[in-house]
Amino acid sequence: MKNFAKLIFICLVISSEAHKIDQTIGEFIIDVTSSMYMRSSFTAFFCIDTTDAIIFSRQISRRQVMHEIIHDLKNINLTNLLTKISSQSFFILDFDCPNVEEFLLQMDLNEMFIAPNKWLILQNLENFPDKNLTLTINTEDFKRYFEALQVYPDSEVTVGQRIDENFINIISMYRPGPSGNIILEDRGFWSDLEGLQISDKNPTSRRRQDLQGTHLKSCLVMTDLDTLNHLSDYKDKQIDAVTKANYIWVQHLVNRMNATIDFTWRNTWGYQDKNGTWGGMIGLLDRGEIDIGGTATFLISSRIGVVDYVQLYTPVGSRFVFRRPPLSYVTNLFTLPFEQSVWIAIGILLIVVSILLSLTMRWEWARIMESPSKYHLGGELESKPTASDNFLILLGAVAQQGFEYLPRTISSRIIIIMLLIAAFSLYASYTANIVALLQSTSDSINTIEDLMNSGLKVATYDIVYNRYYFGSFEDPVRKEFSQKLIANKSSAWLTLEEGVARLRQGLFAFHMDTSAGYDLVQKTFEEDEKCGLSEIDMLNVLNPMLVIKHQSPYSEIIRVGALWVQETGLTGHDVPRLFSKMPKCSGQTSFVNVGMTECRAAMLTIVYGMIASVGLFFMEILWHKCSRNDEIDEEVMEASEESPDPEIQSLE
């Protein structure tokens, strides 16, 4: 009897603690799953008995929603629970269960309230004494429990308060920042007849963009401390233009969020050292000391996961800039006017003409010898035509220099006329073409490989990120380029002023921050020197982007805000004021100087010819000596059979 009473007592205790999870709640959960949270499964923390759990489970299963019910809030297997976090799942908690406070703290320690996790908390207020409920009265509990938890604007914590048998009030709550109070949003209601009625269907990041004066921290990257004095006056735009632009944009962003911000500064964006720790601004973000990186950074793969990138691009880049070299610098100009096939055709023509010419000249000679008077042969006797006569005629015709030969028969005249006309038209087109080619610049340098093989001098703007990038290339071509031409050479690291000055002199490629560099180019170059500038991308990175703390509670609000800053034209307003584009070429007016570079091929031909002629000269002397020796001294000749080298012999 005593035992029986005890049993009843225990049953009463359990049933008074347990929240009624009935058909109505089941319907409500199904509606939330499908139309509010758009998820396909959930994990529920209920304290109901097995029979009720089975009934509930059956009801949910009938609607094809996967679920799991966990009874014991005290001994949660966290490893198990963490595997359940997915974009397809959410969590449900019965707020009337015992040990809820402990449970919430434990969940908070494991960051279970931050995105993408979603929560639905059920509270039963059916027995609440005052039926005329207002938000303030029935949420005191939440305020107390959630006050210290990380329920920030990206959290999705929705509360379903059952006020009536068939009526559930829906609110959601968050804190705008670590020091902010709980803010409650009235989301609507659910009722048996009307289903889910959500008043504000905007996504969370839209509804919660007012952070109510939450204090954010940020960091600026400055390579020159004077930047502090010119953050928003658009002055000195060669220095830290990215910092200045982003400072203004972050201010817009923060104003839109109704937050406040203060900035610290570092002199580098931050790279990973050998210990694996990050320095500079990235280090501050990594350690959670700041919320927003105030200065845009390049997207580097090793930074992904350490910080989050936001698509607020700053339109600057670092590239190799050079003035396109004259065509003659890259190739032999003198072969360019004709295509290869034309050159071959000219060669064939000359061979054919020289064969025909030698035939007709021989024949002509024979005719003249037969009757010299008929061909008005003068007093002096002409010599018999030889191959070198033939060659001189061809050369004279092709080079437009004339020749001595006088054709006397019809056949030789026909051949000479053909030769002259062909040579004339070829000469005309050749000279016309070469003048145009002398003035043109080469566009054959388009890749890093071209640049490496072009023989142009290269140098780099000496700034932190270039030091990093030029030491960390992975792919063989750029690595070789960097090691061969840049990394170890102190002469390859210049200031912007030096680099741009050398750029102006030509035959030089300078790797610079294009915006700052072009600003200087615009100021220092003559008008016609601005023509023919060319760029090659070496770093191969996206434009720098804004970075924020990894898994920041404001990430969605900042992302939307960043788009807003761009779409409203706030970035468009500052970009032309801070970033210079490649100067426009307003017509090439200057004369082209033809110098040694342009005539290099011709000069080389002359030099080689001279060397060859001197060589021939000595060979002639040798040959002459040998042949004379042969005649004079036959004994030496005999002796030379022992020593195979006649030259050594003759020198003796």
Ligand X SMILES: *[C@@H]1O[C@H](CO)[C@@H](O)[C@H](O)[C@H]1NC(C)=O
Least gap, CB of 274 to ligand X (angstroms): 6
Long-range (24+ apart) CB contacts under 8 A made by 399-406 are 400/424, 400/427
Sheet of 260-266: strands edge to edge? 260-266, 215-221, 292-297, 545-549, 307-313
* Cα dihedral across residues 107, 111, 117, 122: positive or negative: positive
Q: Which of 375, 404, 381, 409 is nearest to 391 (CA)?
A: 404
CB 250 within 8 A of CB 261: yes
Among 229, 275, 490, 589, indicate the residue that binds ligand X (CB under 6 A). Answer: 275
Binding of ligand X by 179 (CB under 6 A): no
Output 78 or 342, the one with its CB closest to ligand X.
Answer: 78
Site for ligand X in 276-305 (CB under 6 A): 277
Site membership for ligand X, residue 487 (CB under 6 A): yes
Would you count residue 183 as binding ligand X (CB under 6 A)?
no
Q: Which of 98, 178, 203, 213 binds ligand X (CB under 6 A)?
A: 213
Q: Could you say whether residue 79 binds ligand X (CB under 6 A)?
A: yes
Handedness of CA 440, 446, 450, 455 (dihedral sign): positive
Coil, strand or helix at 69: strand
Smaller CB distance to ligand X: residue 77 or 439? 77
Residue 258 or residue 590: which is nearer to ligand X going by CB?
258
Question: Does the annotation list 52 as a binding residue?
Answer: no
Which of 488, 589, 593, 613 is the binder for ligand X (CB under 6 A)?
A: 488
Q: Measured from the CB of residue 473, what is the shortest distance to ligand X in angstroms?
A: 12
Is residue 212 a contact residue for ligand X (CB under 6 A)?
A: yes
Tokens encoding 558: 């900042």
Q: Is 132 in the site for ligand X (CB under 6 A)?
A: yes
CA 127 – CA 164 distance, rounded (Å): 9
- Taking the complex as a whole, the smallest distance from the CB of residue 562 to ligand X amounts, in Å, to 20
Among 126, 186, 200, 273, the residue binding ligand X under the rule CB under 6 A is: 273
Kindly report the backbone phi and psi dihedral angles of residue 205, in degrees, each rounded to the nearest multiple of 5, phi listed first.
-65, -25
Residue closer to ligand X (CB basis): 275 or 401: 275
Stretch that binds ligand X, among 11-19, 90-98, 272-280, 447-455 (CB under 6 A): 272-280
Is 303 annotated for ligand binding? yes
DSSP β-ladder status, 260-266 and 457-461: unpaired
Contact partners, residue 195, CB within 8 Å, separation at least 6:
31
| Interacting residue with ligand X among 61, 258, 264, 425 (CB under 6 A) | 258
CA-closest candidate to residue 515, choices 320, 323, 237, 324? 237
Pairing of strands 508-513, 318-323: antiparallel
Q: Which amino acid appears at position 643 of this protein?
A: S
CA angle 256, 260, 265 (to 5 degrees): 115
Q: What is the DSSP letter of 591?
A: P
Does 210 interact with ligand X (rule: CB under 6 A)? yes
Q: Which is nearer to ligand X, 210 or 382 (CB)?
A: 210
Binding-site size, ligand X (CB under 6 A): 16
x/- string (CB under 6 A) for ligand X, residues 136-175? ----------------------------------------
| Cβ–Cβ < 8 Å for 502, 320 | no
In the chain, % helix, strand, coil (3-state, to 5) comes to 45, 15, 35
- Interface pick for ligand X out of 23, 80, 110, 332 (rule CB under 6 A): 80
Q: Judged by CB, which is closer to ligand X: 16, or 179?
A: 179
Q: Residue positions in the annotated binding site?
A: 303, 513
Residues tagged in the binding site annotation for L-glutamate: 303, 513
Summarize as ranges the residues that interact with ligand X (CB under 6 A).
Answer: 77, 79-80, 132, 134, 210, 212-213, 258, 273-275, 277, 483, 487-488
